[in-house]
Structure 1
């Protein structure tokens, strides 16, 4: 970057600040900030956060499971510890996008949006308009937990820094590799044993295993999933695709060519589609793969029909989960590629938390949000209060029996949601392995599957790139045509409705849609991300 901006800090977060300063640019001249008045209400360290109680108004997306938030143990205990009361404006997630847009358009905004549906472009657009305040200085001075994360994961800082060098939001993150390897392949071990076959190590061996499953019983579904995208993310690394993880669905980096590439026009992608077409045409891939969902997949597995399936965990297998095992290593492809591209970055969602211009206590608000990122605050967010919602077993955080094994048959997510808000939410927190023992990612078979694949994951994993408003406006227009066409043709090729003799015509069509411009915009964003 051409211009660097120093970021104020205390010694406690000096190292994290050096990371922030190194990646904060001034591409546009910025007015000098007015000297800040001393905040006599704030305790700069320790608890409570404020000397006298304050109330903050926040908008949040609400899962159908969660019900009202104000009476939950999480927020009652948080208020007791911090002195911060939150007046929640809860919006059902199904209507969150519409409600958020209405509030922003009408300038009827709360003090903060907490998992309030703010996407990357909202973050930049409304940040540059002054609706969302820049957080750089607040992070340095009042967010020691987040500063430590930036020190450990500098790619998070690069991924949340807007093109103007400012940070307008705190993100949702994950440090749990079992969660981040979101596409895994689980195979029926009993069926393998019956066929006298070992766990496949190559794509050709996988094909032979699926054929053997089908030969035993024509009613079997050798391989299934909730959707075709999961299957593609699972297998793509065997053809050298998704070389920088799966956050960006259409672009990665071709290491041999030393350049970014649009994956869906690459010859390797054609080979992958041909392989999937072979599975589909021979009845080895679920014929309903394009209309499946989690409920349908679970029902098929319960009937004993499914030989293998792709998913983040074994939850769809229910009581039959012990019948399935993960791969011993990443599958090796026909050209020797053995990469596991089905992994997401530490940075999961860039716009999880923004502070607005209406907020009279931004320092306290930053301290409040930072509290839940580590230490006792993180335990409170994920697990609740010891003796009430969780207990320590073998030095592990475990939910009490009434939550993890409810006598009335309620699911784990339903029980957690009675007192906490972690299920199905996008909040400024870190998903950690220590809080995952009672989740789908906490099953020993799932942890082992992730450990087997981790050595084959990319060394560099990209987050979603951030674009300027002008770049995004142009990219949106291009993406509507290009990505829609790619997804439609992907289905047609796999189902055999379009022959692969039409491949060159398919590629030419994408180029005519403006692929060169599409890639130029991504290249600029990538260069910015790399600090060029």
Structure 2
């Protein structure tokens, strides 16, 4: 059996040996695809993918903006190039989880799930049951674009390899650092100038700036966000938290102790909450931050009330976006910590695309999915067709004016969604900087903000870990209690409804909920990840 032969680094050669060993122990339980038996309709290279047209059935989540897919320019052009027609079973995002679970339970499954709500637990559970086929061999022979990505990003291969050594899904990925630094803090530069303050570089300076904003006008909201966790992640690195990025919301690595830790019981987390409680108590943090959303934040900014906010970009500021600038560097904390943990890994979602046992053309299906990962296929997915939906300007991919400045007042997401499906999707693609110039991450002030923070992101960034079925079952039970309680107490501590004298009681309660077992499961998954 071959496993990703195109990857020649010594690291991956070792890993491939591990995969071979794991596969030899599981082949009886899980059917394997043999590329040598590829369909006679397949063209192994070039376009079209098949010698005569075929139809594949795929289930996909549907954004409210997108409408019907079959008539979109993207899929019409893709069918013309590849020879593959897709019969889409579209399910509204709001009901995707329920519909997906129903199909899997009744075995009434399509040929593939394309952004069909398959999470990592589904991927492993149904992969081991044989409903989803392993992709190792198919990737090796029919996915040159994905193989190239794996060679450049070995952590992606580590992150998608299941505990049994199989690969059951193609992931969604991002190579755009401005997108991956999904949490940034923007400060009103006009207000800074009025107050005679410089851009804050430490948490103490941030407090002084916010205090100056409030002193100028008590009706002002010095610091806000769409939700409390955006603000928390913007500050956490100043206390050394999220030391391996934010894909795992509760565990990171304590470099001083040399061990994995549960962040929400660490003394540093207590210090962070104490700081946030101070901001909240003095009216420097939006009192409605626990119930805010993007629409509410935009309304507050448009009224000239907001001094700073945390978000992936400055889109919520609307016409006032030019007033806001990103931090000059990651904030330095009281003990000298200075990292920016609000960054996601290249690997964003492991189960963006899975092929099912019902698929009679798995080789052609893999070639179809791989087409959109690079080259002309990636351009088609993200931008559409030149002269119709995009044009080249100064060597950059730019949407046509009817999309970026629609005469009917449609938003950018609405106009893109008329012919494409990229907004609000979880598909097996790579989000690249070259396709982002007309998005929120393409704004000059947002790119500048990301570049300022880039030197402070962790050197090692973890993906979300993959767990065995047994581990997932236990984690589901443990997480329900632990993570719910942590969320409730986070709110209570910040709002001052729970005094910090209760901290030891809080930590003891989490331990009684099974924290040791919770951490052992995560450590086992981390150890497997390191071995891959």
TM norm structure 2:
0.97
User: What is the CA–CA distance in structure 2 between the aligned matches of 1:396 and 1:379, rounded to whole Å?
Assistant: 12
2:92 corresponding residue in structure 1: 92
**Structure 1 residue aligned with 2:3, among 7, 13, 30?**
7
CA contact (8 A) 2:246 2:344 kept: yes
- The alignment status of 1:21 with 2:33, answered yes or no, reads no
Determine the structure 1 residue equivalent to 2:484: 484
Confirm or deny: 8 A CA contact 2:49 2:364 kept in the other structure.
yes
Distance 2:324 2:470 in 1: 48
Which of 27, 45, 59 is the aligned partner of 1:30? Answer: 27
Question: Counterpart in 2 of 1:303?
Answer: 303
Describe the shift of the 1:8–1:66 C-alpha distance in structure 2 as closer, same or farther (beyond 3 A). Answer: closer
2:330 is matched with which residue?
330
Could you list the per-position Cα deviations for residues 166-195 of structure 1 after superposition, in whole angstroms to 9, with x for gaps in the alignment?
Answer: 000000000000000000000000000000
Rounded to whole Å, the distance in 1 between the matches of 2:354 and 2:208 is: 51
Q: Is the 2:4–2:147 contact (alpha carbons within 8 Å) kept by the matching residues of 1?
A: no
Q: Which residue of 2 aligns with 1:313?
A: 313
Correspondence 1:360-375 to 2 at 5 A: 360-375=360-375
Post-superposition CA distance 1:339-358 (Å, at most 9, x none): 00000010111100000000
Residues in 2 aligned to 1:47 and 1:33: alpha-carbon distance in whole angstroms? 26
Aligned residue for 1:394? 394
Q: Which residue number in structure 2 is paired with residue 183 of structure 1?
A: 183
Q: Structure 1: how far apart are the matches of 2:41 and 2:215?
A: 73
Q: Distance in 1 between matches of 2:4 and 2:321?
A: 51
- Answer whether contact 2:2 2:137 (CA < 8 A) is retained: no
Cα distance in structure 1, aligned partners of 2:496 and 2:308: 22
**Separation of aligned partners in 2, 1:507 and 1:173:** 36
Q: 1:169 to 1:8 in 2, by over 3 A?
A: closer
The residue that corresponds to 2:215 in the other structure is 215
Equivalent-residue separation in structure 1 for 2:293 and 2:20 (angstroms): 44
CA distance in 1, matches of 2:37, 2:367: 17
Decide whether the 8 Å contact of 2:38 with 2:363 is kept in 1: no
CA distance in 2, matches of 1:349, 1:34: 23
User: Are 1:7 and 1:20, in contact at CA under 8 Å, matched by a contact in 2?
Assistant: no
For residues 90-125 of structure 1, the C-alpha deviation after alignment (integer angstroms, 9 at most, x for no partner) is 000000000000011110000000000000000000
Aligned mates of 2:27, 2:499 — CA distance in 1: 55
**Contact 2:123–2:132 (Cα < 8 Å) also in 1:** yes
Query: Which position in structure 1 is the counterpart of 2:500?
Result: 500
**Aligned pair 1:447/2:447, yes or no?**
yes
The answer to whether the aligner puts 1:164 opposite 2:164 as a matched pair is yes
Q: Answer whether contact 2:174 2:347 (CA < 8 A) is retained.
A: yes
1:359 aligns with 2:370: no
Q: How many residues align?
A: 526
The residue aligned with 2:403 is 403
Determine if contact 2:3/2:20 at 8 Å carries over to the other structure: no
Return the alpha-carbon distance in structure 2 between the equivalents of residues 270 and 329 of structure 1: 24
List aligned pairs for 1:179-328, cutoff 5 A. Answer: 179-328=179-328
Shift of 1:26: 3.8
Deviation at 1:228, TM superposition (A): 0.4
Alignment deviations for residues 392-420 of structure 1 (CA, whole Å, 9 cap, x no partner): 00100000000011011100000000000
Runs (5+) with no aligned partner, structure 1 = none
Unaligned 5+ residue runs, structure 2? Answer: none
Q: CA deviation at 1:18?
A: 3.7
Report if the CA contact (8 A) 2:179-2:441 is conserved: yes
How far residue 24 of structure 1 moved from its aligned partner, in angstroms, is: 1.8
1:362 and 1:29, CA in 2 relative to 1: closer, same or farther beyond 3 A? closer
Kindly state the Cα deviation for residue 7 of structure 1 after the two structures are TM-superposed.
1.9
Is this contact kept in 2: 1:17–1:140, CA < 8 A? Answer: no
Q: Return the offset for 1:37.
A: 2.5
Moved over 3 A (4+): 12-20, 25-29, 31-36
Q: State the secondary structure of the residue aligned to 1:381.
A: helix
Give RMSD over aligned pairs: 1.4
Q: Which residues in structure 2 correspond to 1:54-65 (within 5 Å)?
A: 54-65=54-65
**Counterpart-to-counterpart distance in 2, 1:491 and 1:107:** 42
* Secondary structure of 1:221's aligned partner: coil
In 1, are the aligned partners of 2:281 and 2:496 still within 8 Å (CA)? yes
Give me the whole-angstrom Cα distance separating, in 2, the residues matched to 1:498 and 1:387: 60
Residues 197 and 33 (structure 1), Cα distance of their counterparts in 2 relative to 1, 3 Å cut: closer
Cα separation, 2, equivalents of 1:450 and 1:23: 37
Could you say what secondary structure the match of 1:222 adopts?
Answer: coil
Secondary structure in structure 2 of the residue aligned to 1:358? coil
- Tell me, in whole angstroms, the C-alpha distance in 2 between the residues paired with 1:20 and 1:346: 19
Distance 2:445 2:295 in 1: 22
Moved more, 13-22 or 100-109: 13-22
- The equivalent of 1:70 in structure 2 is 70
Counterparts in 2 of 1:394 and 1:51: CA distance versus 1, 3 Å? same
